[in-house]
């Protein structure tokens, strides 16, 4: 089970998409592989409307690696994340001059998460090439 919170808009069309402080607990029941699913979680309409305006379309969410999680102390922290390079042969893995600010809302433990920060697809696409899949990052609190 995952506790999911809206952390911001994936586009500028909806200024304040999140229902402040709202959180929903969801259970993963099936894999929705790419290219069919382009989001971290494909929430039901009921779950989505609990944490955000249905007009938002897509929202940003984030998970964090256990070492940074610090027993939950990092929950609610904001990190500014920048792509610094590729980790594979994908050309142009970074969107130069960009960064994204994400809010830590939950832990994504190993072995499921193999990265420092597991960004939502929307947050990742702001700083990097989605085809890269994984990128090297700098981040600061």
Question: Can you give the pLDDT at residue 35?
Answer: 55
Contact status, residue 45 vs residue 54, Cβ threshold 8 Å = yes
Question: Can you give the pLDDT at residue 125?
Answer: 92
Q: Where are the beta strands (DSSP E) in the chain?
A: 2-4, 8-9, 24-26, 59-60, 62-64, 78-86, 100-103, 117-119, 135-140
Hey, CA dihedral for 19, 43, 15, 119, is it positive or negative? positive
Cα distances from 71 to residues 4, 33, 65, 124, 141, in angstroms, run: 18, 31, 11, 25, 17
CATH number of the structural domain 2-140: 2.40.40.10
Question: Can you give the pLDDT at residue 33?
Answer: 54
Q: Which residues of the chain have pLDDT under 50?
A: 62-64
φ, ψ of residue 127 in degrees (nearest 5): -105, -20
Domain extents in the chain: 2-140
Hey, CA dihedral for 11, 23, 69, 27, is it positive or negative? negative
Question: Can you give the pLDDT at residue 39?
Answer: 55
Quote the CA–CA distance of 129 and 44 in Å, as a whole number. Answer: 27
Question: Can you give the pLDDT at residue 135?
Answer: 86
DSSP assignment letter at 49: H
**Reading across the β-sheet that carries 135-140, which strands appear in turn?**
100-103, 78-86, 135-140
């Amino acid at each position: 089970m995952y506790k999911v919170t809206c952390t911001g808009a994936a586009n500028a069309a909806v200024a304040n998409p999140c229902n402040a402080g709202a959180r929903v607990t969801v259970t993963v029941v099936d894999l929705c592989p790419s290219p069919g699913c382009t989001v971290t979680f494909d929430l039901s309409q009921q779950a989505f409307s609990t944490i955000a305006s249905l007009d938002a379309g897509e929202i940003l969410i984030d998970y964090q690696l256990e070492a940074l999680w610090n027993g939950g102390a990092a929950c609610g922290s904001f990190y500014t994340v920048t792509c610094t390079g590729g980790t594979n042969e994908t050309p142009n893995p970074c969107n130069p001059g960009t960064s994204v600010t994400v809010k830590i809302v939950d832990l994504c433990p190993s072995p499921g998460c193999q990265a420092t920060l597991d960004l939502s697809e929307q947050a990742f696409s702001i700083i990097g090439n989605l085809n890269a899949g994984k990128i090297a990052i700098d981040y600061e609190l």
